[in-house]
A and B are shown apart, each in its own frame.
Chain A
Amino acid sequence: MNASLQGHTASNPASTTGTLLAVDNVSLEYRTPQRVVRATHQVSFEIDPADRFVLLGPSGCGKSTLLKAVGGFIQPVEGEIRLDGQVVHGPGPDRIVVFQEFDQLPPWKTVKQNVMFPLLASKTLNRREAEERALHYLEKVGLAAFADAYPHTLSGGMKARVAIARALAMQPKILLMDEPFAALDALTRRKMQEELLLLWEEVRFTLLFVTHSIEEALVVGNRILLLSPHPGRVRAEIHSHQYDLHSLGGVGFQHTAQRIHRLLFDEGPGQDAERELGFADIRIAY
């Protein structure tokens, strides 16, 4: 299977040039003191430039592990991950991760220094240019006034914005977001989703977004990869480019959400029809 797919990509170079990130039959394992656990099993997907690609699945489907593997923090035990045709071997500044945890911002750096940090650490820009770019992206996320504040003085939503500005300032080939809004309250989360989409309209970055919320997946993504749990395997790939925050509660949106719910939890279609469509049903993990 692995070999035939590689042969396929090699014989069809046109398809690889359109693809920014190719995850090819990737199996991931992690180690606990007692045992080795398989997190994902032979997962394949492709992300094109300017995609907003969402990995969606219940907890334990290995979606975060998959994102960390794309980030280069975990080596696949099988298969390979290629960015722009280059096999990913370790972490690098061409794939910047936005984490869920608030402590991703070094507390000893001000907001501006935080945004400058990866630019300087990876020696992408000199200090003056880095400062200029940092201010530019802080302006974009609406935090220019807080450039000299320390992270501990910011709210959760502001910290998430700083992390996004920091990631965008690096202008990475792909932006990796690991449930970036999961630790925020519902109102802030919705605002952040809206802002993320606005930023995407403006910058057109490529995004790989991990979430466990069907609603968030439909709003943020243009394509959604559904993963089954224990271990993570691909269940389906679904289009969601037609939905945004305004489609919340719409009939098409609800139907797709319902379909995803069915695919994730393997409910029969008959069961589905009997149930009344409810907003609460689709917010599985909020």
Chain B
Amino acid sequence: MSIRQEYEVALEPLLSVPVERELPLGQRLWQQGWLRKSLILILLAVLWEAAARYQNNDLLLPSFLQTGAALYDGLISGELLGKVWISLVVLLKGYLLGIVLAFALTTLAVSSQFGRDLLSTLTSMFNPLPAIALLPLALLWFGLGQNSLIFVLVHSVLWALALNMYAGFLGVSETLRMAGRNYGLKGIRFVLFILIPAALPSILAGLKIGWAFAWRTLIAAELVFGATSGKGGLGWYIFQNRNELYTDKVFAGLAVVILIGLLVENLVFDTLERVTVKRWGMQR
């Protein structure tokens, strides 16, 4: 039996091989999310243009370029922007009110058994109810005005957000809760300083879902009953132009709906996520 020799190695500083190096340009570019998404959008636009030219019927399917021209005209004349502004103002009012109510309801739910039961009963009752189904009732109660729209918007935001927020609160770790209580945090301060930041990933997800629900509810509501107090929003614009068979303008209106959705998703929510949950390592 032979025993292997022991040995020691004196280590010199490692200089011959670079400790870190950059990825190739192509890989670095491919890691940019906006670049990948823009590529997808361009691809879709090309497909659309090709399909429209093959179809060759402006009334049914205007091409991408025609829609672009209609969109450009609408924006230049200020007509579209005015409609967007009307829609967004109503939307924001309903959205913010929905957030405030969801916040109040979930705070109640984390602080008492009654609040918990109330939240779970109300969400299971109203969450499956499409907001637009409440519109006739809202019109009856609040008349042909902004208030009916805000009512259905609140309904569309409130339950989805409250559900997500509450699930987020439940997911906050026991250690973090005890740490908060240890420092003497109680009641609303506990919710503000511990629960809300700790549940932020779920809350942001809820805000996103709420935003999408609110946006589609608003456009649908405007399509159903059109103008509020003489001034219609984006849905009304689409509806009116369909009646007059300006299909390219209908598409332009739809494009604006989509663009605003993309813009809010990619600018507002992505930025919010980047400076909060992603920066804090709570979400990849």
Does B185 lie within 8 Å of A104, measured CB to CB?
no
Interface residues of B (CB under 8 A from A): 173, 175-176, 178-185, 189, 193-194, 197-198, 200, 276, 279-282
- CA–CA, A212 and B226, complex, Å: 71
Interface 9-residue window, one of A114-122, A230-238, A274-282: A114-122
Contacts of A96 in B (CB 8 A): 182-183
Rounded to whole angstroms, the CA-CA distance of A95 and B189 in the bound complex is 20
Closest A residue to B184 by beta carbon equals A122
A101 with B184, Cβ < 8 A, contacts A71-B178, A106-B198, A151-B281 known: no
Q: Is A156 an interface residue (CB 8 A)?
A: no
* Any B CB within 8 A of the CB of A174: no
Chain A proximity of B62: nearest CB distance (Å):
48
Tell me the complex Cα distance, A71–B183, Å. Answer: 11
Residues of B within 8 Å of A93, CB to CB, are 182-184
Shortest distance from the beta carbon of B273 to any chain A beta carbon, whole Å: 13
Offer 7 A-B interface pairs, CB within 8 angstroms, sorted by A: A71-B182, A73-B181, A103-B175, A107-B281, A121-B180, A121-B193, A150-B279
Question: CB-CB < 8 A to A71: which residues of B?
Answer: 178, 182
Shortest Cβ distance from A18 into chain B, in angstroms? 26
Q: Are B176 and A103 in contact (CB under 8 A)?
A: yes
Residue of B nearest to A92 (CB): B184
B282 and A108 contacting across the interface, CB-CB below 8 Å: yes
A8 cross-chain contacts in B, Cβ below 8 A: none
Q: Give Cα distance in the complex from A226 to B194, angstroms.
A: 35
* Contact partner, B200, options A95, A97, A108, A122, Cβ 8 Å: A108
Q: How far is the CA of A68 from the CA of B279 in the complex (A)?
A: 32
How far apart sit A32 and B190, CA to CA, in the bound complex (Å)?
26
- Name the distance in Å between B203's Cβ and chain A's nearest Cβ: 12
Most buried by A among B182, B184, B189: B182
Residues in A with CB closer than 8 Å to B180 are 121
Among A91, A122, A152, which residue has the most Cβ atoms of chain B within 10 A? A91
Most chain A beta carbons < 10 A, residue from B179, B189, B280:
B179
Distance (Å) between the CB of B198 and the closest chain A CB? 7
Given A91-B184, A118-B182, 6 additional A-B pairs, CB 8 A: A91-B181, A93-B182, A104-B179, A108-B280, A108-B282, A152-B282
Interface residues as binary, A141-165 with B (CB distance below 8 Å gives 1, 0 otherwise): 0000000001111000000000000
Give the distance to chain A from B128, nearest Cβ to Cβ, in Å. Answer: 30
Q: Does B178 lie within 8 Å of A91, measured CB to CB?
A: yes
**Those of A249-278 within 8 Å (CB) of chain B:** none
- Counting CB contacts under 8 A, is A99 at the interface? yes
What's the least CB distance linking A140 to chain B, in Å?
Answer: 20
Bound form: Cα–Cα A117–B276 in Å: 18
A99–B175 Cα distance when bound, in Å, is 7
CB within 8 Å for A117 and B175 given contacts A107-B282, A150-B279:
no
Q: How far is the CA of A92 from the CA of B189 in the complex (A)?
A: 15
Chain B residues whose CB sits within 8 angstroms of the CB of A73 once the complex forms: 178, 181
**Chain B residues, Cβ within 8 Å of A92:** 182, 184
A117: min CB distance to chain B, Å = 7
Q: Is the pair A97, B280 in contact by a Cβ cutoff of 8 Å?
A: no
Alpha-carbon gap, A103 to B200, bound state (A): 15
Question: Which residues on the A side are within 8 Å of B182 (C-beta)?
Answer: 71, 91-93, 95-97, 118
Residue pair A121, B197 in contact (C-beta under 8 Å): no
Q: Kindly provide the distance from the CB of A200 to the nearest chain B CB, expressed in whole angstroms.
A: 21
Of the candidates A68, A95, A103, A108, the one whose C-beta lies within 8 Å of that of B276 is A108
In Å, the complex CA distance between A91 and B198 comes to 20
Q: Is the CB of B280 within 8 A of A101?
A: no
